[in-house]
Structure formats: C-alpha cells, structure tokens
C-alpha cells in the first residue's frame, strides 16, 4: 500500500510517500508524479521519511520522472531516505543519477 500526501511550500510541490513503492503501487506513483511533471510543475520534492520499501519498479518510476523533468527544465529531488532505502539507491547506481538530499529543507533548496 502507498499513500501520497501532497503539500506545496514556496512554489515547491512535496510528495510525501507513506508505505511501500513496489510493482503494485508504482502505477499510482507514476500517475501522480509524471502527471505533475507533464502539467509543468517545475519544482518537485519526493519525501521518503515514511517510505518503508522500494523495488526496482519504484526506482524505474523515479528515473522516468527525473528524465522527463529534465526535458521540461524542471527539477526533481528526493530526500530523507532511510538507510536501507539509501542502500538500494547506492547499489543500483541511482545515487549518482538523481538529486538526493538528507533533509526536506535541502531538497527544497536544490529544486529552488
């Protein structure tokens, strides 16, 4: 199960993920995140504070959104990764591809 709480702060849309981002929930995340990118939302932060698990399907959605965001001159940053999720990003090589920040405040600055 995945819940996505959305907040806007100083022109930055923050998607707070709660639960699991896996093959069952990645279509929901794809619709939500890519929908915002396609609608021209230029400043997006994905907050992982309450995310417990991410699979390769979840990684794929984030990579697609980052590429699409770059094409439309937008910015996407991830923040607050738990250690076990951070490890998945490091092992997959996504750590060097995506903007990943330790805190929400730093992520907001990165997309600002």
What is the per-residue pLDDT across 12-31, written as a single tens digit (0 to 9) for each? Answer: 999 999 999 999 999 999 99
Residues 6 or more apart from 59 whose CB is under 8 A from it? 88, 89, 92, 94
The pTM for the full model equals 0.95
Distance CA 80, CA 74 (A): 21
Average pLDDT, the chain: 95
What does the angle CA 39 – CA 13 – CA 10 come to, to the nearest 5 degrees? 120
Please, are residues 25 and 2 in contact by the beta-carbon 8 Å criterion? yes
Placement of tokens 């600002």 in the chain: 112
The arrangement of secondary structure in 2-111, i.e. its CATH architecture, is: 2-Layer Sandwich (3.30)
Please, are residues 77 and 43 in contact by the beta-carbon 8 Å criterion? no
User: What is the per-residue pLDDT for 40?
Assistant: 85
pLDDT at 96 over 90: no
């Amino acid at each position: 199960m995945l819940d996505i709480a959305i907040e806007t702060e100083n022109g930055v849309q923050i998607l707070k993920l709660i639960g699991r981002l896996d093959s069952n929930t990645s279509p929901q995340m794809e619709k939500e995140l890519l929908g915002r990118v396609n609608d021209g939302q230029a400043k997006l932060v994905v907050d992982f504070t309450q995310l417990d698990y991410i699979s390769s399907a979840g990684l794929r959605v984030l990579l697609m959104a980052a590429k699409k965001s770059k094409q439309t001159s937008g910015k996407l940053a991830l923040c607050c990764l738990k250690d076990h999720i951070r490890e998945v990003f490091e092992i997959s090589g996504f750590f060097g591809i995506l903007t990943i920040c330790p805190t929400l405040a730093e992520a907001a600055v990165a997309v600002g």
